[in-house]
Amino acid sequence: MNALRRLTGNCTPRTLWSLAALLLLLLLAPAFLGKYWLSVLILILYFAYVGQAWNIVMGFAGQLSLGHALYAGLGGYIAAGLFFHYGIGPWAGLFAAVAAAALAGAIVGYLGFRFSLAGVYFALLTIAFSEFTRIGFEHWSWAGGSGGLFLKVDAASNLLDLRGGPVMFYYVILALAAGALVLCRALLESRLGRYWLAIREDAEAAQAVGVPVLRCKMLAMVISAALTALAGVWNAFYYNNLFPETAFAMSRSIEITLAPIIGGLGTLFGPFVGAVVLTGLGEAFTDAGDALGIPGIKQIFYGLALLVIVMFRPAGVWPWLSARLGLGERTP
């Protein structure tokens, strides 16, 4: 009860009621949504979740990672590989997946932070590791090489092996997204979370008030990588296939960063709001693009939308929207 009060302490009643209503709506959604809209909602929740995970490193601790595809890719490949080769189910496999991704995050983080790389330099290090791993997987036969890894499609719902239809995957990703939101809220309220914000604002001043900067940054990377790996596992089993050139691609890494940047970096609801905006735009433009029949037109609309958002709402949509709606998220 005490823990619950701490989690909800600074929210206005209006915020809490809105959240409860939203959660209820999401829980009931599969009952009245068609196949298409459910798939859109799944996409939104996926980007919200993975954005939330990335937000820990960049939004909270202020370290720009543009290589998060590494952790999603590792997670997906390990869980899928274990299932494919040895029939080990994803719920067991995800421990290995999370451990590997956390280790990778620890290595990248340690090297980057130990050698005090920041900003663009750190970003490039994260890209380099992701690309390096991509090429490695293209030549690793266990993982199927560049030909990819395919999981057998099975429409019969089997939660144990994460085989089944969209509704099952919907509830899994909903649980992940909701869990990540609660976790991030708890982290932000914790000592570690405060320390991350201090490092983001000024690492030297943070260290002077006793913040163990290297350890805190490392924790941000490890936690973020571990959470991202879960998204990778989910992704692999939802789509049933994995290719190194997409799983570890820079475009995958960039995709992960977009929802929190668009929604509002460092905020709790930013990744969710950003995911709604981006997925909504993406779907709308797909229809428009199909209607026009010009290749790339969807992406052009998408690029224009990004341009407009970054020019007029550089701090993200959510801080502006929340003020409009009178929804209180304490801005730390």
Partner 1 sequence: MTADFLLSLAQAVTKGLLTGMVYGLMALGLSVIFGVMRVVNFAHGEMMVIGMYLAWLGFEYLEISPLVSLPAIAALFFAAGYALQRTLISPFIGRPEHQQFLLLLAVAILLVNGALAIAGPDSRGVQLDSQFDSYEVGPLVLDAVRLHAALAAIAIALLLWLFFARTRTGKSIRAAADNHMGALVVGLDVPRLYAITFGVGAACVGAAGALMITIIPVTPFLAGEYTLLAFVIVIVGGLGSMTGALAGGLLIGVSEAVAGLLLQPSLKSMFSFGLLILVLLLRPQGLLGKASR
Partner 2 sequence: MTGARLDLDGIGKSFRGLRAVHDVSFSVPAGAIHALIGPNGAGKTTIFNMIAGVLTPDVGTVTLDGRVISGLRPDKACDAGVGRTFQLVKPFMGLSVLENVTIGALHRRRDPADARASAAAILERLGLFGRRHQLAKNLTLPDRKRLEVARALATEPKLLLLDEVMAGLRPTEIDVMVAFLRELNRQSGLTILLIEHVMRAVMALAADVVVVSYGEKIAHGTPQEIARHPAVLDVYLGDPEAA
Q: What is the C-alpha separation between 224 and 229, in angstroms, rounded?
A: 9
Strand 241-242 relative to strand 149-150, pairing? antiparallel
Could you say which of partner 1, partner 2, none residue 189 binds, taking C-beta under 5 to 8 angstroms by partner kind? Answer: partner 2
3-state secondary structure labels for all residues of 168-188: HHHHHHHHHHHHHHHHHHHHH
Q: What is the C-alpha separation between 198 and 105, in angstroms, rounded?
A: 21
Give the one residue of 16, 25, 135, 159 binding partner 1; rule: CB under 8 A: 135
Site for partner 1 in 150-189 (CB under 8 A): none
**What is the pattern of x (binds partner 1, CB under 8 A) and - over residues 112-131?**
---x-x-xxx-xxx-xxx-x
Sign of CA dihedral 193, 196, 201, 202: positive
Give the one residue of 251, 323, 325, 326 binding partner 1; rule: CB under 8 A: 251
Sign of CA dihedral 288, 294, 299, 302: negative
DSSP string, 63-112: ---S-THHHHHHHHHHHHHHHHHH---HHHHHHHHHHHHHHHHHHHHHHH
Q: Does 4 bind partner 2 (CB under 8 A)?
A: no
Give the one residue of 1, 208, 291, 311 binding partner 2; rule: CB under 8 A: 208
Specify the residue, 12 or 331, whose C-beta has the smaller distance to partner 1.
331
Q: What is the C-alpha separation between 174 and 330, in angstroms, rounded?
A: 24
Residues 6+ apart with CB under 8 A from 43: 275, 279
State the minimum distance, in angstroms, from the CB of residue 114 to partner 1.
Answer: 8
Q: What is the C-alpha separation between 227 and 230, in angstroms, rounded?
A: 5
Binding-site size for partner 1 (CB under 8 A) equals: 44
Burial of 230: CB neighbours in 10 Å, binned 0-12, 13-18, 19+: buried
Give the one residue of 16, 20, 23, 205 binding partner 2; rule: CB under 8 A: 205
Q: Does 10 bind partner 1 (CB under 8 A)?
A: no
Could you say which of partner 1, partner 2, none residue 302 binds, taking C-beta under 5 to 8 angstroms by partner kind? Answer: partner 1
Q: Does 10 bind partner 2 (CB under 8 A)?
A: no
Specify the residue, 14 or 139, whose C-beta has the smaller distance to partner 1.
139
Could you say which of partner 1, partner 2, none residue 194 binds, taking C-beta under 5 to 8 angstroms by partner kind? Answer: partner 2
Q: Does 219 bind partner 2 (CB under 8 A)?
A: no
Stretch near partner 1 under the rule CB under 8 A, chosen from 13-21, 88-96, 249-257, 273-281: 249-257
Give the one residue of 134, 163, 200, 298 binding partner 2; rule: CB under 8 A: 200
Burial of 116: CB neighbours in 10 Å, binned 0-12, 13-18, 19+: exposed
Q: Does 8 bind partner 2 (CB under 8 A)?
A: no
User: CA geometry: angle at 100 spanning 151 and 91, to 5°?
Assistant: 50
Q: Does 118 bind partner 2 (CB under 8 A)?
A: no
Q: Does 119 bind partner 2 (CB under 8 A)?
A: no
Q: What is the C-alpha separation between 107 and 225, in angstroms, rounded?
A: 11
Single-letter amino acid code for the residue at 143:
A
Q: What is the C-alpha separation between 53 and 105, in angstroms, rounded?
A: 12
Give the one residue of 38, 41, 58, 222 binding partner 1; rule: CB under 8 A: 58
CA 148 to centroid of chain Cα atoms: 23
What residue ranges bind partner 2 (CB under 8 A)? 6, 189-191, 194-195, 197-198, 200-202, 204-213, 332
Residues binding partner 1 (CB under 8 A): 58, 64, 66, 111, 115, 117, 119-121, 123-125, 127-129, 131-132, 135-136, 138-139, 146, 250-251, 254, 257-258, 261-262, 265, 294-297, 299-300, 302-304, 306-307, 310-311, 314
